Amino acid sequence: MLSRIAESMFWIGRYVERAEDTSRLLQTHLRLLVEDTSSEVDVCRNLLGLMSVSHVEHPTHEDLLRVLGYDAKEPTSIFACWAAARDNARRAREVIPLSLWECINTTWHQLPSGRFRSARAHTFLDWARERSALFTGIARGTMVRDDGWEFMSLGRALEQVDMTSRLVASASLRSGHTSWPSVLRGCGGHDAFLRTYRGLHTDREAAQFLILDSRFPRSVMHGLQTASHCLSRLTSASGQDARQSQFPTRALGQLRARLEYSDIGDLVDNLDQEMTWVQEVAADVTAAVTTNFFAAEDPTAWITEGTR
Amino acid sequence: MADLLTHYRAGAAFDEMVDDEGSVRPSYHAIHATLDSSTPAELKQIAESLANDYVQAGVTFDIGGVERPFPLDLVPRVIASPEWETIEAGVAQRVRALEAFLADVYSDARVIADGVIPSQLITSSNHYHRAVWGVHPGNGVRIHVAGVDLIRTPEGDVRVLEDNVRVPSGVSYVMTNRSAMITALPDAFANQRIRPVASYPQRLLAALRAAGQPTTDNPTVVVLTPGVYNSAYFEHTLLARTMGVELVEGRDLECRRGKVFMRTTAGLQRVDVIYRRIDDDYIDPVHFRSDSMLGVPGLVNAVRTGGVVLANAIGNGVADDKLIYTYVPDLIRYYLAEQPIIANVDTWRLEEDEAREEVLDRLDELVVKPVDGSGGKGIVIGPRASAAELDALRARVIADPRGWIAQPVVQLSTVPTLIDDELKPRHVDLRPFAVNSGDGVWVLPGGLTRVALPEGELVVNSSQGGGSKDTWVLSPPAHRVPSEPEELPAAEPEPTPAPPEAAPRDAAPSGPLKLGRMPSPLMPLRLGTQRQGSQSQRQGSQSQRQASRPQEEQQQQANGCADGQEALSC
């Protein structure tokens, strides 16, 4: 598969997943905001900080919606995610099933163009989650399991690892009051969690479930495993020597071992650091995949005769 | 709806649907009946859903970097079978003649030695590229794809307006228009047989593979696009997708030692045939524009050494120059020893002093076109132009007579077109597409009918805000035998026995029955096994359903165990 197309597929996977996870994160925190006792500005600033947004002074929940939701100019917004996904899909149009392209294109056309009041926020966020779910479903039902699919799955898995770690870290933002149930709900895993732990849960179990339970498809561990599988299939399918995926595979494996074998108490106590570490590994793996698989062309410099 | 059609008045031009006396031409009977039975509101709804489908599917044409849906009108243009046979033969003839002409001017140029064409016509062409002189394509084809623009004059004759043998575009809309129209007007399709257009990608791929075949058994074909911002990007993706080949940009390709490779996740992969949708000027910064960021350095050398085949070939522009166009009838006589099947539009060559003087006197009543323009750029329509525009044109023509031709203003034929709520005559042209595989020229039945949407407008180019229509070539009666699978009518809704006339009388007497002509069986065929459902859904027979009734009731009652009903489990 063409390197340029592979890169587009990877980013389509990432952006669609990011749009979904961002709406989950926003919904979770819009709900929490109502019950929160600390100041709105602090909570919003922390949350934006978690999403690596630092340029908003005294953010309110409306800024939150704007920056992460509908503002086309903010690179972190759901709007920007879909726009970027469509841009990539347009470049990879000939390898994407028609129905999948139509799903992306329709979503992009339906994106709200301006600001809206926070009363409509939940409708928008629900819609955003549904569009990502529709995309995932159509992709699963129509795409051939070739390299393109693997690159897209790899992108999705890495993004999901990254975003779940941010969502988990956001649970520790709120001191003195438990936000774990909301975070679990945000991941769509509250019921599964209750079934697994029979309702006798503590923060520690919730963290364990979201980070380590590989049976839950939004857990960090599940994402790491999926990413490793994609990499190994890509390596064997392309018939190349394993060097291309050596570093990323090793980085993912090391992270898995680190999470799996550390004491859960320590994990919960150092949640921020551990989750930052997860995000760093996801970024490193992305960088390595980019250089190893999407090999940028050597820059060519042209010199006109006689100018030397 | 009858109102809409009775109020339809054709203009001064030839109308494709209605003749001078106001009666509907035979080929339009079916579509007329369909329109006649629809209300304006229904038509409007169909038109809206067509537009909406195109936006959702991203069937767009970029104008100045903005994606716009390509307007599709719901009234098709219909071409009767005998007329199509003439067009088909005429288009193929032109392609064969131009092919011979290109082969000639890029080798020993007999055509000049024999005095058919003046030599300065070739040497002064901006699109004659010496870099490809002496390059002989493996299967002799330079024009793999051609688009020949046809118009119909007020007298009803079909004429050639121009040839496009560089990178003709628009064929994707032929295919998307057809699939959209089948959903929009199913009745009209059910009532007559229309020749399919969906085989175009297979024909094109076969021609491209044939072009690479002399050097390799299994050539790798790619489509080369300038990128997502090109106005025809949608078409490039559609062709790559439907041919099942890679769509590459210049930066995906690399030339090494006279061969071309594409960068893939598994390293470099050899490319044998490039269906390029980039103009000559941009294709190779080494030979042509050195500021091109779209091309592939070294591509021309690879072509010269035979390491790769470009389709269409470099340097084809010399054949679709509008000044060469005026000589095409001569070329047909010279190379093919045939008479031209479709005539040209009368054209003045402004290089010739007499012609130029006449044209400059009558600028306000003629159309003046640049010889190497495309997309309707630079065309000046005399009767519409202001005095200042005409003066500017006059100066440009005098400065560069080789660069211009003049033609009388031809009132293109019209087809009814839905404008707001009414059907109005709008001018159309037709671009049939021809594919040359080396074994013969195949012409796609139909082609792109472009329609100028503003009233009275004669420029139909998509880049000038034109729309399009589906083009229906009616099948000749011989095509209606039921044994041809692609010609089969839409599935009958019920498995009724065949109508009496289908049961052949001559097959009925003694002797083995011919299976192929049997009436359809009386019993519906049992195909596929019983579908499974979950326990509660698999209540096939009536008795089972009754037996399960109590269970159902219990389940309903079980919710309210507090209200004293007997409940099995709470």
Whether residue B97 lies within 8 A of chain A, CB to CB, comes out as no
Name the closest residue on chain A to residue B238, using Cα atoms: A94
Inside any domain, residue A308: no
Q: What is the pLDDT of residue A170?
A: 78
Residue of chain B nearest A99, judged by CA positions: B57
Q: Which residues of B touch A296 (CB under 8 A)?
A: none
| Beta-carbon separation of B56 and A102 below 8 A | yes
pLDDT at A247: 87
pLDDT at A227 over 60: yes
Extract the tokens encoding B82: 């005998």
Question: A176 is written with which tokens?
Answer: 């003195």
Residues of A in contact with B224 (CB under 8 A): none
Half-sphere exposure of A75 (CA within 13 A, CB side): 5
On whether both A76 and A5 belong to a single domain, the answer is yes
DSSP 3-state of B160: strand
| Chain B interface includes A85 (CB < 8 A) | no
CB contact (8 A) between residue B251 and residue A4: yes
Q: What domains can you pick out in chain B, each with its CATH number?
A: 6-345+410-480 (no CATH), 346-409 (3.30.1490.270)
Given the DSSP bridges, would you call strands B267-271 and B259-264 parallel, antiparallel or unpaired? antiparallel
Specify whether the CB–CB gap between B427 and B168 falls below 8 A.
no
Out of A119, A143, A167, a domain closes at A143
Asked if residues B338 and B93 have their Cβ atoms less than 8 Å apart, the reply is yes
Contact of B221 with chain A, judged by CB distance below 8 Å, is answered with: no
For A239, the closest chain B residue by CA position comes to B266
SS3 sequence, B387-407?
A: HHHHHHHHHHHHHCHHHEEEE
Q: Which residues in chain B show pLDDT less than 50?
A: 1, 479-521, 536-545, 547, 560-570
Closest C-alpha among A176, A174, A208 to residue A192: A208
Residue B440, pLDDT score: 92
Q: How far apart are the first and last CA of chain A?
A: 39
Q: What is the pLDDT of residue A177?
A: 53
The residue assigned the tokens 């293109």 is B412
Do A297 and B297 make contact, defined as CB atoms within 8 angstroms? no
Least CB-CB distance to B266: which of A4, A151, A240? Answer: A240
pLDDT for A242 = 61
Predicted confidence at residue A73, as pLDDT, reads 84
**Residue B36 host element (H or E):** helix B29-36
Instruction: Give me the domain span that covers residue A82.
Output: 1-143
Do A192 and A131 sit in the same domain of this protein?
no
In this complex, which of B240, B247, B264 lies closest to A3 when CB atoms are compared? Answer: B264
Cβ–Cβ below 8 Å for A4 and B297 = no
Q: Looking at the domain assignment, is residue A161 inside a domain?
A: yes
A134 to chain B, any CB pair closer than 8 A? The answer is: no
DSSP of A241-268, one letter per residue?
Answer: -THHHHHHHHHHHHHHHHHHHS-HHHHH
Q: Integer distance in angstroms from the first to the last C-alpha of chain B?
A: 64
Q: Give B-chain residues touching A93 at CB under 8 angstroms.
A: 58, 237, 241, 247
Q: CA nearest A96 in B: which residue?
A: B241
Q: How many angstroms away from the CA of A212 is the closest CA of chain B?
A: 32
pLDDT category at A117 given cuts 50, 70, 90 is low
- Structural domains in chain A (count): 2
**Interface size, chain A vs chain B, as Cβ–Cβ contacts under 8 Å:** 71
Please check whether residues A107 and A200 belong to one and the same domain.
no
With CA atoms as reference, report the closest residue to B319 among B129, B446, B459, B88.
B129
pLDDT digits (tens, 9 = 90+) for A9-43: 999 999 999 999 999 888 888 877 776 667 778 77
Whether residue A275 is contained in a domain is answered as yes
Compute the mean pLDDT over every residue in chain A, rounded to the nearest whole number: 84
- Contact: A4, B265; criterion CB under 8 Å: no
- So what's the pLDDT on residue B517? 45
User: Within a domain: residue A300?
Assistant: no
Same domain, A125 and A172: no
A249 is a domain residue: yes
CB contact under 8 A, A2 and B55: no
Are A90 and B252 an interchain contact pair (Cβ–Cβ within 8 Å)?
Answer: no
* B18-24: long-range contacts, CB 8 A cutoff, minimum separation 24: B18/B416
Neighbours of A49 (CB within 10 A): 12
Assess whether A15 and A105 both reside in one domain: yes
Contact B249/A at CB under 8 A: yes
Give the integer Cα–Cα distance in Å for A163 and B321. Answer: 58
Residue A160 sits in the same domain as residue A126: no
Rounded Cα distance between B466 and A104, Å, is 27
Q: What is residue B427's predicted lDDT score, i.e. its pLDDT?
A: 92
Which residues numbered 34-93 in B keep a CB inside 8 Å of some CB on A? 55-58
Query: Do A13 and A71 fall into the same domain?
Result: yes
Q: Is B179 on the interface with A (CB under 8 A)?
A: no
Q: What is the pLDDT of residue A264?
A: 85
Instruction: Flag whether the pTM goes above 0.90.
Output: no
**Are A136 and A240 part of one and the same domain?**
no
pLDDT digits (tens, 9 = 90+) for A139-160: 999 999 988 999 999 999 999 9
* Inside any domain, residue A106: yes
Domain boundary among the residues A87, A112, A143 is at A143
Residue that finishes a domain, picked among A143, A175, A203: A143
Task: Work out the burial of residue B529: count CB atoms within 10 Å of its CB; fewer than 13 is exposed, 13-18 middle, 19 or more buried.
Answer: exposed
- Contact: B56, A3; criterion CB under 8 Å: no
**Among A94, A103, A134, which would you mutate to test the B interface (most chain B Cβ atoms within 10 Å of its Cβ)?**
A94
Q: Which of A4, A105, A239 sits opposite B249 (nearest CB)?
A: A4
Secondary-structure breakdown of chain A: helix, strand, coil percentages, each rounded to the nearest 5: 75, 0, 25
Residue A307 lies in a domain: no
Is A109 in the B-facing interface, judged by CB distances under 8 Å? yes
Q: Are residues A125 and A163 in the same domain?
A: no
A131 domain-assigned: yes
Question: Based on the domain organization, do A123 and A195 belong to the same domain?
Answer: no
CB A110 within 8 A of CB A83: no
For B263, which of A94, A106, A297 is closest by C-beta distance? A297
**Are A293 and B265 an interchain contact pair (Cβ–Cβ within 8 Å)?**
yes
What is the nearest CA distance from B362 to chain A, expressed in angstroms? Answer: 48
Could you tell me which chain A residue has the CA closest to the CA of B237? A94
Place of tokens 């257009």: B197
Helix ranges (DSSP H) in B155-296: 171-184, 186-190, 200-212, 233-243, 280-283
pLDDT of residue B456: 80
Q: How far apart are CA A1 and CA A253, in angstroms?
A: 26
Asked if residue A136 has pLDDT above 90, the reply is yes
Nearest residue to B173 (alpha-carbon basis) of B80, B59, B278:
B59
Banded pLDDT at A189 (limits 50, 70, 90)? confident
Asked if A108 and A6 sit in the same domain, the reply is yes
Q: Specify the pLDDT at position A115.
A: 63
- The per-residue pLDDT for B457 is 81
Q: Determine whether the interchain pair A102/B251 forms a contact, defined as Cβ–Cβ distance below 8 Å.
A: no
Higher pLDDT: A175 or B257? It is B257
Q: Copy the structure tokens of residue B474.
A: 């009616």
Looking at residue B248, what is its pLDDT?
Answer: 93
For residue A103, the model assigns a pLDDT of: 93
- Residue B247 to residue A94, Cβ atoms within 8 A: yes
Contact A225, A232 (CB under 8 A): no
B241: contact with A, CB 8 A cutoff: yes
Question: What is the distance between the alpha carbons of residues B407 and B345, in angstroms, rounded to a whole number?
Answer: 7
How confident is the model over A58-70, as pLDDT tens digits?
A: 888 888 888 888 8
Name the pLDDT band for A222 (thresholds 50, 70, 90). Answer: very high
Instruction: Check CB contact under 8 Å for A300 and B241.
Output: no
What does the alpha-carbon distance between residue A134 and residue A103 come to, in Å, rounded to a whole number? Answer: 8
- Chain A residues within 8 A of B56 when measuring between CB atoms: 102, 105-106, 109
Cβ of B263 and A102 within 8 Å? no
Q: Are residues A289 and A192 in the same domain?
A: yes
Closest Cα to residue B376, out of B452, B438, B309?
Answer: B452
